[in-house]
Amino acid sequence: MNHEPLRWGILSTGHISQKFARALQLAEGAELYAVASRTQEKAEAFAAAHGVTKAYGSYEAMAADPAVDVIYIGTPHVFHLENAVMCMRAGKAVLCEKALTINAREAEEMIRVAREEGVFLMEAMIPRHVPLIRRMMQWLQEGRIGEVRMIRAARCLRRDFADDARQVKRELGGGSLLDLGVYPISFASMVMGGSEPEETMGTAYIGRWGTDEQGAALLRYAGGVIADVSFALRTETVNDAYIFGTEGYIHLEKIFAVPEKITLYDKEQKVVEVIEEKIKGEGLYYEALEVMRCLRAGLTESPYMPLDESLQIMRTMDRIRQPWGLTYPGEKA
Ligand SMILES: NC(=O)c1ccc[n+]([C@@H]2O[C@H](COP(=O)([O-])OP(=O)(O)OC[C@H]3O[C@@H](n4cnc5c(N)ncnc54)[C@H](OP(=O)(O)O)[C@@H]3O)[C@@H](O)[C@H]2O)c1
């Protein structure tokens, strides 16, 4: 096994890229080597703030640096495809923020390029790598709640977004489904072993930004398992998740995507087991470790967030969104 540190490049200097830089400082075996921005000034300011060796004033220049092993993409959803393809064509491994793309057609294209180039690609879906969620998956595999029958999960927040914020702007792939709904939908998919829902139905409120301010969906899987998911940009809710089985249920809190407490109940609603553990590096730390574990093992995708499953999740979100009449750049109205 190669014990040299892996040299990371961070593509873009926004909100999540800054958090990722802080998380990388905690990750053993990682070197935060480069950052790229659309402007040299921003790249240099970011490099100074986070102790990064190289600052590039264009994304392409960083991808062309042979010293970079792996690139983290933290741009708005509409740019993920273009940015990831450019990095992978330069031979780089890529960790791309969620949602992987704006739709399944783009996700298919991104995955095709990864396979063509033989490079590593993973959607940055934090919950897949959080220790308590891995523990919860073990409970399910051990049959601790019997057969799974229902799933309930929410990822909702209330913030006063500016009209040009990437979270709300249609041109940047804004809206609650792509930004937050992807978490509970991906969670349900993980619990269901990556299988695709047989039926989906959803509703949304398209607010003053022309994108979905909030929404909810029901997903029905083979065998009748039903997931009830909600997502919102202007409504704060409790943000936990439940998995109900024939012999008991599991509660994840709070926020379910980065849980610090999981509780196993029996069917009489008595507590059977509780596990608590603090989240490290806002959760981003765990996905960075998983990327490095995969790269050192010579894998081109992670078994915890397989590419075909990321594609299936994009297809599911396309199906949920289709009746709303909400389209993103490059899609037919
Ligand atoms: N995993 C999580 O917990 C988490 C949390 C928040 C967001 N995210 C995901 O991370 C991604 C970015 O979100 P964010 O909140 O960090 O966004 P943000 O603060 O708006 O930053 C996005 C960055 O992308 C770059 N960019 C390139 N073209 C742009 C354009 N035309 N308009 C605006 N920015 C552009 C900019 O960096 P330069 O100017 O330096 O090029 C900008 O700073 C999204 O995919 C989002 O879903 C994940």
Report which protein residue has its CA nearest ligand 1's atom 8: 16
Q: What are phi and psi of 102, to 5 degrees?
A: -90, -20
Q: What are phi and psi of 227, to 5 degrees?
A: -110, 135
Atom of ligand 1 nearest to the CA of 124: 1
Spatial distance between the Cα atoms of 93 and 288, rounded to a whole number of angstroms: 12
SS3 content of the chain, % helix, strand, coil (to 5): 40, 25, 35
Atom of ligand 1 nearest to the CA of 38: 41
| The pLDDT value given to residue 333 | 78
Spatial distance between the Cα atoms of 276 and 324, rounded to a whole number of angstroms: 39
Separation of CA 174 and ligand 1 centre (Å): 11
Domain ranges for the chain: 6-127, 131-278
Query: Is residue 241 predicted with pLDDT exceeding 60?
Result: yes
Superfamily in which the 131-278 domain is placed by CATH? Dihydrodipicolinate Reductase; domain 2 (3.30.360.10)
| The pLDDT value given to residue 40 | 98
* Token pair of 275 as six digits: 């596990």
Taking only the tens place, the pLDDT of each residue in 132-148 is 999 999 999 999 999 99
Same-fold call for 6-127 versus 131-278: no
Using only C-alpha atoms, the chain has a radius of gyration, in whole angstroms, of 20
Q: 96 has which bridge partners?
A: 73, 123
Percent of the chain exceeding pLDDT 90 equals 98
Query: Is residue 1 predicted with pLDDT exceeding 80?
Result: no
Mutational pocket test of ligand 1: of 11, 73, 97, 126, the residue with most ligand atoms within 8 Å of the beta carbon: 97
Average pLDDT over residues 269-286: 97
Total H helices, total E strands in the chain:
10, 14
In this prediction, residue 2 has a pLDDT band, given cuts at 50, 70 and 90, of: low
Separation of CA 15 and ligand 1 centre (Å): 6
Mutational pocket test of ligand 1: of 50, 59, 75, the residue with most ligand atoms within 8 Å of the beta carbon: 75
For ligand 1, whether the C-beta of 123 sits within 6 Å is: no
Give the closest residue to 182 by CA, choosing from 16, 13, 305, 325.
305
| Pairing relationship of beta strands 121-124 and 148-156 according to DSSP bridges | unpaired
Give the predicted TM-score (pTM) of the model: 0.98
| The pLDDT value given to residue 291 | 98
Residue partners of 255: CB distance under 8 A and separation at least 6: 155, 239, 240
Cβ(89)–Cβ(115) below 8 Å: no
Average pLDDT over residues 30-40: 98
Taking only the tens place, the pLDDT of each residue in 248-258 is 999 999 899 99
Q: Output DSSP code: residue 221.
A: -
Mutational pocket test of ligand 1: of 13, 16, 103, 159, the residue with most ligand atoms within 8 Å of the beta carbon: 16
| The pLDDT value given to residue 111 | 98
Spatial distance between the Cα atoms of 60 and 32, rounded to a whole number of angstroms: 18
Cβ(184)–Cβ(241) below 8 Å: yes
Residue partners of 282: CB distance under 8 A and separation at least 6: 19, 22, 23, 258
| The pLDDT value given to residue 207 | 95
Report which protein residue has its CA nearest ligand 1's atom 43: 14
For ligand 1, whether the C-beta of 159 sits within 6 Å is: no
Query: Is residue 11 predicted with pLDDT exceeding 90?
Result: yes
Mutational pocket test of ligand 1: of 10, 12, 52, 72, the residue with most ligand atoms within 8 Å of the beta carbon: 12
In this prediction, residue 4 has a pLDDT band, given cuts at 50, 70 and 90, of: confident
Q: Output DSSP code: residue 78.
A: G
Residue partners of 322: CB distance under 8 A and separation at least 6: none
Taking only the tens place, the pLDDT of each residue in 74-109 is 999 999 999 999 999 999 999 999 999 999 999 999
Cβ(257)–Cβ(183) below 8 Å: yes
Spatial distance between the Cα atoms of 60 and 309, rounded to a whole number of angstroms: 29
Taking only the tens place, the pLDDT of each residue in 266-275 is 999 999 999 9
- The fold of the 6-127 domain, in CATH, is Rossmann fold (3.40.50)
Separation of CA 73 and ligand 1 centre (Å): 8
Separation of CA 148 and ligand 1 centre (Å): 36
Atom of ligand 1 nearest to the CA of 77: 45
Report which protein residue has its CA nearest ligand 1's atom 6: 16
| The pLDDT value given to residue 332 | 84
For ligand 1, whether the C-beta of 77 sits within 6 Å is: yes
| The pLDDT value given to residue 268 | 97
